[in-house]
Amino acid sequence: MKKSLLDKHIQTFIAEVERNPAQVQKEIDERIQQILFFQKYNKEKLLSLNGEDIYEYLSRLWAMLLWGNKHYVVDNLIANNGLNNFKQKLTYLIWGERTIKDRWDDFRKNIKGMGPAMMSEILCKTHPDDFMLWNRRAYVGLRYLDVDYLPRYDYQLDGKRYLELCEVCNKIGEEIKKAGYPDNNLLVVDYFIWKELQVADNLSRIHIIAKDLVDITEKDIEESTFIHNDIRDKLAEIRQWLGFTTKTEQKVSEGSKVDTIWEATIGNMGRIIYVFEVQTKGSIDSLIINLLKSLNNPAVQGVVAVSDKTQLEKIKNHAIDVKDLRDKLKYWDYKDILEVHESLEFVNSSINNLGLVPQGF
């Protein structure tokens, strides 16, 4: 991390505090209110939540501003994970006794549809002295300071790296306090990152996709699992942003449970389903059989294999002799999905910031 660059921006920050103390305090007070809200949810209260309570809890997150229909997001979280399972895993993430590294990885492996931005925001607002808030703006700010090994994609942020980033932000907080600002918790550090480190050059490049991602086959089993789950959830979010129904790990026919489906209802005539299977590690033959079985459902109009270029070529070679599958099987590189997701995320964030559609009841 470039200490001289950090010191320069801290001095600018302190000068702004002295110049506009009332405005800065107002914005800090808004963050304090967030902390007070989330700290009310101890273990017992979290485990007692019903579906509407979970909506009230999650809808306060800044990460939810991306979504026009927050109820839809929360309903999907509950439907895809089960109410009790979701509450138990969320409680363990926030209040568990093991290290945050273990708790983070456990949550990421077992809960579908809730990524690092929401997870870290809850942790930061509940334990602001310990955990940092990770999102695209944090990535931009820390990259500007030349922090090493920043996770460009969600699947790269495992518990070990999250803990390391919390330590980085704690060091920034220590420097802020040394410069004379009295409060240095990690929600204040987040405020500093947003106010001081969103430089124009980095912001203009925030949605540029790195084209040099290595193939999934070169990843170890643990990281490939994170990739699988991340792509599965991003496929679901892409479809939601396009305005259609989506489900993850869905049974579509006897003996066929698939990673993600996109579904559309055609008037009163029925429904159309597209099936997506994400291949990271494991048997390609099993993927072929699973997709073939899914076509037993007459609503399934197409199936899509998702992987890296190397494995997609292998899947093509395996499928070429499977007559009932080859004409309906499409192929999607996981790197392209990351690009599509980021583009749609930007579009939806920009539109939702206009506030054109009010929240319903």
278-295 confidence digits (pLDDT tens): 998 888 988 999 999 999
Contact predicate 62/70, CB 8 Å: no
Tens-digit pLDDT profile for residues 65-104: 877 778 888 998 999 899 999 999 999 999 999 999 999 9
Residue 271 has pLDDT above 70, yes or no: yes
Residue 31 has pLDDT above 60, yes or no: yes
As given in the structure block, the two tokens for residue 66 are 């991306």
Domains of the chain: 3-204 (no CATH), 219-347 (3.40.1350)
| CA gap 69, 249 in Å, rounded | 22
pLDDT at 104: 97
Residues in the chain: 361
Tens-digit pLDDT profile for residues 111-124: 998 999 999 999 99
Contact predicate 294/318, CB 8 Å: no
Q: In what order do the strands lie in the sheet with 270-278?
A: 245-253, 256-266, 270-278, 300-307, 329-333
